[in-house]
Amino acid sequence: MSTNRQQEIATALDVVPPFADEATLVAEIERRKAFIKGCLRNSGLKVLVLGISGGVDSTTAGRLAQLSVEELRAETGDNGYRFIAVRLPYNVQHDEHDAQIAMDFIRADEEETVNIADSVLGLSEQVTHLNHLTDARRDFVVGNIKARIRMVAQFAIANANNGLVIGTDHAAEAVMGFFTKFGDGACDLAPLSGLVKNQVRSISRHLGAPDTLVHKVPTADLEELRPGKPDEEAHGVTYAEIDAFLHGHDVSPEAYATIVRTYDNSQHKRMLPLVP
């Protein structure tokens, strides 16, 4: 049975109820596309930018973005609407093959690649405070630098094209604070917000994404000492448990405690900066 705390957290994250059937899923896809199109119309801008990693989240958001600008072009007759998909590898990404499969599936109007390695290394060398850290701690801090440099690159491309940056955060990541503050957590619009992980997979599958991407083990892939480290290992719980928690279902006492504790400890990530 759902607890008051589960209900409170699900409400705070605006969690979307489980899809009752295929029609509900399709309606949600249409609602998300309408949201993306509305964001562009309301902003007076015509370009969307998103970094594509090869995971299911950016694959799904990227395809939704491309479909949205195609619909806007058809509806308005304005070919200025377009989507730029950006690859942001750190040197050579260990799962680059998946990233290219994602790019082929998304079929963006424009593709760009920005290798962030020089920027990350240049900044890291200048921050002397990193020199006193253990290898593991330094790797973690540099991982966050990677996430923030990636967002700097996306906003630079968006600024150069008078566009908006898309984020890929959804409820299953938001509840765990599993994003870098002012890194991948920074964006102009987040079209996957409120969805749990399995709903993102369902949408991706319905849009026709390859099964290898839909069911790929999720990873932030920020730590050089552990390339491809699974998200679930970092969480201490599975996405199935997180999804169940957010949808008000029973989870083990251990999973419940981990999710609630992590949500509380990461609250600062979901808030605007503190002010007097």
CB count within 10 Å of CB 275 equals 4
Catalytic residue among 28, 109, 173, 188: 173
82/70 Cα distance (integer angstroms) = 8
Contact 221, 53 (CB under 8 A): yes
Q: Report the SS3 class of residue 74.
A: helix
Q: Report the SS3 class of residue 151.
A: helix
274/247 Cα distance (integer angstroms) = 30
Q: Give which of 239, 233, 224, 229 is closest to 120, Cα–Cα.
A: 224
242's tokens: 């997180």
Q: Report the SS3 class of residue 80.
A: coil
With residue 86 as reference, give the H or E element that holds it: strand 82-87
**Is 173 in the active site?**
yes
Beta bridge partners of 114: none
**Is 57 in the active site?**
yes
Contact 46, 81 (CB under 8 A): yes
Catalytic residue among 57, 184, 188, 221: 57
Catalytic residues: 57, 173
